[in-house]
Amino acid sequence: MNYFSGRRLLIVTKHGKELVLKPLLEKGLNVKCTVTRDFDTDSFGMFSGEISRKEDALNTVRNKCLAAMARYNCDLAVASEGSFGPHPAAFFASADDELVVLIDLKNDIEIVGRKLSMETNFAAKAIKDKTTFLEFLSQIKFPSHGIILKSKEFNASEIHKDIINELEAIRIFELILAEFGSVNVETDMRAMNNPMRMKVIQNATKNLVEKVNSLCPKCSLPGFSVTQSVKGLPCSACNLPTKSVLYLLKTCCKCDYSEKNYFPRNVKTEEPMYCDNCNP
Ligand SMILES: [Zn+2]
Ligand SMILES: [Zn+2]
């Protein structure tokens, strides 16, 4: 049976994310999407620092989704949440970690799509001169990507967003600089002002649709997906376990059924050059 076909799905967003969410969800789930127009998702945390997030990303997006569902009296909804910062495995680089969560209250299902990407312009800097400011603008791809100018990082008395061209950017930069001696310049991470981020949200949504369309072989609920990759592929020379993936664990989000998919790269042993024993 199809759990979602023909139902109304609420997209919880304020920053134009429906642009990428709506077509993928309508096609992939056969739902009819409506978008929250006046629901203030900013109260759950803002990137520009006025309101900070109180919980981790998954709980934040879950709470946002549930609050909107109650307010709009809808039993099927999707919300998304991004986190930015150092990449967990490559500390020198910034990463954009996007979550897109689907909640179905009627069938008591929650499915989370995710995409972790290093394709992000995420950056922030206190700048004291125009040359450095112009360099920053070109690095972060302004004006196709937005910026936010503030008098300081936190609790700033001056905050300027939605700056559309370089002349305006320079004018505001110089105003703040004259008054405060330094300008906090940061990338605007709101989806509608950040095409790179919009792309990552799109890929996280694709991941969600894929999971939704993967049914549990036991209870046939949607959301049967990889929840863990387990290391230990044996070395072809010494036969000891390596750090390469031995199997992917797929689990149902509802019942206790799980499956181990061995050898995801279709090789049963690892090259000795990747073995800590043969090539320490
Ligand atoms: Zn070995
Ligand atoms: Zn199941």
Q: Ligand 2 centre from 88 Cα, in Å?
A: 31
Computed from CA positions of residues 57, 61, 62, 63, in that sequence, does the dihedral angle turn out positive or negative? positive
Class of domain 8-120+196-213: alpha beta
Quick check: 50 pLDDT over 70? no
Q: Do residues 39 and 69 make contact, with C-beta atoms less than 8 angstroms apart?
A: no
User: What integer pLDDT is reported at residue 172 of this predicted model?
Assistant: 97
Distance between CA atoms of residues 148 and 131, nearest Å = 17
* 249 alpha carbon – ligand 2 mean position (Å): 14
For the chain, give every domain's residue range: 8-120+196-213, 124-188, 227-274
Mean pLDDT of 115-123: 93
How far is Cα of residue 246 from the mean position of the Cα atoms in its chain? 27
* Ligand 2 midpoint to CA 218 (Å): 5
pLDDT value of residue 190: 92
Q: How far is the CA of 267 from the centre of ligand 1 (A)?
A: 15
Q: Give percent of the chain with pLDDT exceeding 70.
A: 92
* pLDDT of 47 higher than 70: no
User: What's the gap in Å between 103 CA and the centre of ligand 2?
Assistant: 16
Compute, in angstroms, the gap from residue 5 CA to the centroid of ligand 2: 19
Q: Ligand 2: distance of its center to the CA of 225 in Å?
A: 11
Chain-centre distance for alpha carbon 4:
23
| CB atoms closer than 10 angstroms to residue 147 | 25
Distance 251 CA to ligand 2 centre (A): 8
- Average pLDDT score, the chain: 91
Q: At CA 32, angle to CA 29 and CA 36, rounded to 5?
A: 115
User: Among all ligands shown, which has an atom nearest to the Cα of 222?
Assistant: 2
Instruction: Say how many Å lie between the CA of residue 243 and the centre of ligand 1.
Output: 11
Whole-number Å distance, alpha carbon 239 to ligand 1 midpoint, is: 6
- Beta partners for 33? 9
> Which of the ligands is closest to the CA of residue 273?
1
Q: Is residue 247's pLDDT more than 60?
A: yes
When pLDDT is averaged across residues 63-86 and rounded to a whole number, the result is: 92
CA of 240 to the centre of ligand 1 (A): 6
Say what the pLDDT of residue 15 is: 81
Mean pLDDT of the 235-246 span: 96
Q: Which ligand gives the minimal distance to the CA of 216?
A: 2
Nearest to 113, CA basis, from 207, 25, 202, 226:
207
The Cα 40–Cα 56 span in angstroms is 19
* Token code pair at residue 237: 């020379």
Report the C-alpha gap between 194 and 121 in whole angstroms: 9
- C-alpha 242 to ligand 1 mean position (Å): 8
More reliable by pLDDT, 207 or 36: 207
Q: Residues 123-131: what's their mean pLDDT?
A: 95
Determine the pLDDT at residue 93: 77
Span 59-70, pLDDT tens digits: 989 999 999 999
CA–centroid distance, residue 236 to ligand 1 (Å): 7
Residues 88-97, buried b or exposed e (16+ Cβ, 10 A)? eeeeeebbbb
Q: Ligand 2 center to residue 222 CA distance, Å?
A: 8
Instruction: For 184-228, write each residue's pLDDT tens digit.
Output: 999 999 999 999 999 999 999 999 999 999 999 999 999 999 989
